[in-house]
Amino acid sequence: MTLTCDSTAPAHAHGNPDAYERLLRNLIDNAARHATHRIQITVRNQDAWVVLTVHDDGPGVPTEDAERIFERCVRLDDARSRDHGGTGLGLAIARDLAHRHKGTLTLTPRTLGACFQLRLPQAPTPAEK
């Protein structure tokens, strides 16, 4: 697993720390289940957003299922669902938590694997308040 920060400034976002922990755990657990060898997590400030991506090198998600995977209890029938366990709730919960924090969670197109992008409104750093 690789963690990269593409910013020299802190990436602050307001919200519930327990909800953020659950959101991130769901994204990382999903990537760990489907990765072949590598997971890359990147955090950066982009305009007024904190942007976090979780990218795995697994089989990816077919374009036609890009939105469906965020529905409750959806597990794809192809290689992406080869894992054992799971209820198909993790990505639905993660997206709901992102929306509750005025953010978005999307699947971004990739040629290899799956890449989930979380965008949260950037909060002022403590010194800026």
pLDDT digits (tens, 9 = 90+) for 93-106: 999 999 999 999 99
pLDDT of residue 28: 94
pLDDT of residue 78: 46
pLDDT digits (tens, 9 = 90+) for 48-87: 999 999 999 999 888 887 788 888 755 554 444 444 455 5
Closest alpha carbon to 7 in 41, 39, 40, 46: 46
Instruction: Tell me if residue 43 falls in helix, strand or coil.
Output: strand
pTM for the complete prediction? 0.83
Mean pLDDT of 23-33: 93
pLDDT of residue 110: 81
**pLDDT confidence band for 8 (50 / 70 / 90):** confident
CATH number for the domain formed by residue range(s) 2-7+16-124: 3.30.565.10
